[in-house]
């Protein structure tokens, strides 16, 4: 695929059959509370390499909190997380980012006054080897490194078809395009695991179709593992390999879209209710 090939330098390669399906992250009996509110109550599940895993459930079920536990923004009071051969009580956000976990947010978290291009460049910060003093001393190599990062970002711009808005301050963009830029910034980190918090929220049908296409292409062409929260059940059932269902902080189901769709507990708690 032309766009996908053009982004190869900015993303991990697609997976071999042997790699796909291995557990890349395991959450064991996670408990997280805020005062009297139990946001997550003894939840365990695994994330497998190369899959698209959806986390669904009613408002306040603990979905965003779970993403925050995975990338280290929230520290669970109990439980453990297995990642890259280590078991830890809580993730550290820097460790997570450095080891390939990137995320987008439910409420877009871009620098609104900065251009699309500059927002994407911020996604490269962790990849920049040289600090500002080094850059001042060694202009040539620093310039070379900057060019390499720009090249990676340009490939993402091509891949996400956002050439026309590369210089536009993101605050001036329609919501759907801001969401796409936010995806681009996460991709600029070249993640192994991409956490997407309601990537289609607030989008019209056409914008949702575009976003679905990009999510699937990232997953299929580069083998990026994707964990997403989404309320649009059509989208969830179409693009996910597996689905974890939370309700009041408790996991009530975990399986393929077909298994989850047929689960009476899930129908009663969520699928049977209009949202």
Instruction: Please select the residue that binds ligand ATP; options are 47, 51, 52, 57, rule is CB under 6 A.
Output: 57
Shortest CB 161 distance to ligand ATP, Å: 28
Instruction: Please select the residue that binds ligand ATP; options are 24, 49, 65, 194, rule is CB under 6 A.
Output: 65
Cβ(214)–Cβ(238) under 8 Å?
Answer: no
Bridge-based pairing state of the strands 52-56 and 225-229: parallel
Question: Measured from the CB atom, is 13 or 37 closer to ligand ATP?
Answer: 37
Cβ(31)–Cβ(250) under 8 Å?
Answer: no
Instruction: State how far the alpha carbon of 143 is from the alpha carbons of 15, 24, 149, in Å.
Output: 33, 36, 10
Question: Measured from the CB atom, is 68 or 225 closer to ligand ATP?
Answer: 68
Cβ(197)–Cβ(103) under 8 Å?
Answer: yes
**Residue 245, helix vs strand vs coil:** strand
Shortest CB 119 distance to ligand ATP, Å: 23
Shortest CB 33 distance to ligand ATP, Å: 8
Which positions from 70 through 109 interact with ligand ATP, judged by CB under 6 A?
A: 106
Return the range that interacts with ligand ATP (CB under 6 A); candidates 58-66, 82-90, 134-142, 149-157: 58-66
Q: Tell me if 227 contacts ligand ATP by CB under 6 A.
A: no
CA angle 108, 50, 187 (to 5 degrees): 35
Instruction: Please select the residue that binds ligand ATP; options are 39, 110, 160, 188, rule is CB under 6 A.
Output: 39
Which positions from 135 through 194 interact with ligand ATP, judged by CB under 6 A?
A: none
Beta strands in 162-223 (DSSP E): 193-197
Shortest CB 198 distance to ligand ATP, Å: 7
Cβ neighbours of residue 260 closer than 8 Å, sequence gap 6 or more: 56, 243, 245, 253, 254, 266
Q: For 216, what's the count of Cα atoms within 13 Å in the CB-facing half-sphere?
A: 14
Instruction: Please select the residue that binds ligand ATP; options are 10, 49, 62, 119, rule is CB under 6 A.
Output: 62
Which positions from 17 through 36 interact with ligand ATP, judged by CB under 6 A?
A: 34
Q: Is 17 exposed, middle or buried (0-12, 13-18, 19+ CB in 10 A)?
A: exposed
Shortest CB 136 distance to ligand ATP, Å: 40
Residues near ligand ATP (CB under 6 A), total:
12
Cβ(244)–Cβ(56) under 8 Å?
Answer: yes
Binding-site ranges for ligand ATP (CB under 6 A): 34, 37, 39, 57, 59-65, 106
């Amino acid at each position: 695929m032309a766009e996908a090939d053009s982004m190869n330098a900015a993303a991990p390669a697609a997976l071999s059959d042997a790699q796909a399906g291995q557990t890349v992250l395991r959450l064991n009996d996670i408990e997280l509370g805020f005062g009297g509110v139990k946001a997550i109550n003894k939840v365990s599940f695994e994330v497998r390499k190369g899959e698209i895993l959806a986390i669904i459930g009613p408002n306040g079920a603990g979905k965003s909190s779970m993403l925050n536990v995975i990338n280290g923004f929230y520290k669970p009071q109990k439980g453990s997380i297995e990642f890259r051969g280590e078991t830890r009580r809580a993730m550290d956000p820097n460790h997570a980012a450095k080891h390939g976990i990137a995320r987008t947010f439910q409420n877009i978290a871009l620098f609104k006054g900065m251009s699309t291009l500059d927002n994407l460049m911020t996604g490269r910060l962790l990849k920049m080897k040289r600090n500002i003093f080094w850059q001042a001393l060694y202009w040539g190599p620093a310039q070379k490194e900057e060019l390499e990062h720009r090249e990676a970002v340009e490939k993402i711009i091509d891949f996400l078809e956002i050439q026309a808005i590369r210089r536009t301050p993101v605050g001036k963009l329609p919501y759907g395009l801001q969401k796409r830029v936010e995806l681009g910034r996460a991709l600029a980190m070249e993640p192994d695991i991409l956490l997407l918090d309601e990537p289609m929220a607030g989008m019209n049908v056409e914008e949702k179709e575009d976003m679905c296409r990009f999510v699937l292409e990232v997953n299929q062409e580069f083998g990026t593992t994707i964990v997403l929260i989404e309320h649009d059940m059509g989208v969830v059932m179409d693009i996910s390999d597996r689905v974890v269902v939370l309700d009041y902080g408790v996991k009530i189901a975990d399986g393929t879209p077909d298994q989850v769709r047929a689960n009476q507990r899930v129908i009663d708690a969520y699928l049977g209710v209009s949202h």
